[in-house]
């Protein structure tokens, strides 16, 4: 492998410093399961409030109540789906760390072939 130039080494050092100083909650994979569960409960609560507003709309026939009901239900579902997918991604990340990438053997063979040449 060729050594890095001075400019490339400087960029690499900046990237490493940014990663080391970054907050631990910088991405969805870094979100704790407790935080994801809280988001899911919040979304479920929003959906229930929206459903209650929908029933209120059917009783009162006030259009703005129906619009608010629809909005609350959609937002609740989106928040629940985001929390659920984050939870699944976090669990999949844990499994991936344990067993490795599905292409790990293929990658290793490819790298070994090009190192020999």
Residue 26 is predicted with a pLDDT of: 45
* Arithmetic mean of pLDDT, 10-36: 69
State the Cα–Cα distance between residues 75 and 46, nearest whole angstrom. 7
- By the 8 A CB rule, do 14 and 22 touch? no
Residue 94 is predicted with a pLDDT of: 54
Residue 65 is predicted with a pLDDT of: 96
Categorize the per-residue pLDDT at 87 as very low, low, confident or very high, splitting at 50, 70 and 90: low
Categorize the per-residue pLDDT at 25 as very low, low, confident or very high, splitting at 50, 70 and 90: very low
Identify which of 38-47, 83-92, 104-113 has the greatest average pLDDT. 38-47
Q: Which helix (H) or strand (E) holds 111?
A: helix 104-116
* Arithmetic mean of pLDDT, 11-36: 68
Residues 6+ apart with CB under 8 A from 57: 63, 65, 66, 69
Residue 78 pLDDT more than 80? yes
């Amino acid at each position: 492998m060729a050594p890095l130039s001075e400019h490339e080494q400087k960029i690499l050092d900046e990237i490493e410093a940014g990663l080391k100083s970054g907050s631990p909650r910088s991405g969805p994979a870094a979100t704790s399961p407790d935080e994801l569960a809280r988001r899911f409960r919040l979304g479920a609560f929003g959906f229930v409030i929206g459903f209650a507003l929908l029933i209120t709309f059917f009783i009162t026939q006030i259009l703005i109540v129906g619009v608010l009901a629809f909005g609350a239900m959609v937002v609740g579902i989106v928040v629940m789906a985001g929390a659920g997918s984050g939870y699944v991604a976090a669990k999949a990340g844990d499994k991936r760390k344990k067993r490795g990438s599905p292409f790990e053997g293929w990658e290793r063979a490819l790298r070994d072939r090009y190192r020999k040449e």
